[in-house]
Amino acid sequence: MFSAIEDIDTERLLASDIEEIVSSLVVNYRLEVPTLDTENITIHVPTREGTKASKLPKRSQFSVQISVPFRGDGVLFGLHPGWYPLDLPIGNVVEQRLQVLVEVLGMRDEIIRGAIDNQLLNVERYLHALRARVEKFNSQLSGFARDRVERQRTLTFDQRTLLTSIGFPIQAEHIVLEPKAPSATAKTAALDALLLDPTFDDQSYSKTLDVIENMAFVMERSPSAFASMGEEDLRQHFLVQLNGRFKGAASGETFNNTGKTDILIRVGGHNIFIAECKFWNGSKVFTETIDQLLRYLTWRDTQAAVIIFNRNKDFSNVLRSIQEATDAHPNKERGPNKDSDTRLRYVFRSLTDPNREIFLTILAFDVPSVSSEGEPAPVDDLRSAERPS
């Protein structure tokens, strides 16, 4: 499992929710103690090739091989459960069947059946002893996976930050987390729904916002790597992460409706997410940014976001001004629903159709500038900053 974590694609590791990755690992690497299917046992007398008739066992000695199908991980039959009061069962595992040789004295059916039952009982005791240790392992697996994934993610963040500080663009690998292929019927239904109303479901929309938020957290934690970047450079880093999840479907400065939007995700010829990026420059500019985004949306575009970068000293005051300005917007219908202090979800009315609702999320991030001495630059040195009122 640890090797698999080290092999996780970089873009997937950065863009995906950690719990998604952990859940996938637990499903793939948890152990299932075998369960015997005693209703479908088969038996046969093993052959002894090359054995002369005179050397065949006496009539009072008899051997029979039982074959028991089972569900679970056959590899566990090769493990010792620790302390065990009886002799360990001996047998072979062939595909999903356990084969055990039973030797008895006597040819009566009740003697043979009793010997088989004793062997099965010994196997069940063995599995019972094994189950306690496997359950303990399974209960710890998610913790092991989460710790290692978080460590790998931190290492990847640090490497990405280092690469960013060098000054060259980072190439996206265009690899995406894809669910298992649905049936043909499900594909047809999904396509029909997309053509009628090409939108995310709420979970997909939230995951897209998570990708953006995770990249912004990197910027907040490593201000020196992003201090000199403008909107276009910062936007490029978000596009790298989004393209990792959406297989190259995210683009920047793309024409849509009445203008060019900063971030556009287009799948199957349909827009499924649109966002504008801006440095905080006061409530008036922020309101104009919302107006600009609403003009860029067509009737079918219903999931959008405004991403605000703050380089003021008083981020708390900026957050308060953002909420006040959004609440005062004439097209606001409902909200905010607070995913966090810096992530506010609203429902807006479309500019062209008052009955059409738009899900608009405001994401605000504190990305301070850094002076030549390595300290945050004062507000007066920032051309795009506005002193809080």
Per-residue pLDDT of 234-289, as tens digits, reads 887 788 778 767 766 777 777 665 677 888 888 766 788 899 989 899 999 999 99
Instruction: Please give the Cα distance from 277 to 283 (Å, whole number).
Output: 15
DSSP assignment letter at 304: E
Tokens representing 65?
A: 């091989």
**pLDDT over 80 (residue 348):** yes
Asked if 84 and 126 touch (Cβ cutoff 8 Å), the reply is yes
Strands 97-105 and 61-71: antiparallel
Per-residue pLDDT of 200-248, as tens digits, reads 567 778 888 888 888 887 777 776 667 777 777 788 778 877 876 776 6
Q: In the structure, what pLDDT confidence band is assigned to residue 82 with cuts at 50, 70 and 90? A: confident
Closest C-alpha among 35, 51, 124 to residue 86: 124
Rounded to whole angstroms, what are the CA distances from 242 to 162, 167, 301, 325? 20, 20, 18, 28
Residue 164: per-residue pLDDT = 59
Q: Measured at the alpha carbon of residue 136, what is the angle toward residues 133 and 139, in degrees to the nearest 5?
A: 150
**pLDDT over 70 (residue 197):** no
CB atoms within 10 A of CB 87: 8
Mention every residue, 6+ apart, whose C-beta is less than 8 A from residue 41. 66, 67, 68, 69
Region 66-76 average pLDDT: 90
Q: In the structure, what pLDDT confidence band is assigned to residue 323 with cuts at 50, 70 and 90? A: very high
Instruction: Please give the Cα distance from 300 to 36 (Å, whole number).
Output: 55
The beta strands (E) that lie in the chain are given as 35-36, 42-44, 61-71, 92-94, 97-105, 250-256, 259-267, 270-279, 303-310, 332-340, 343-349, 357-366
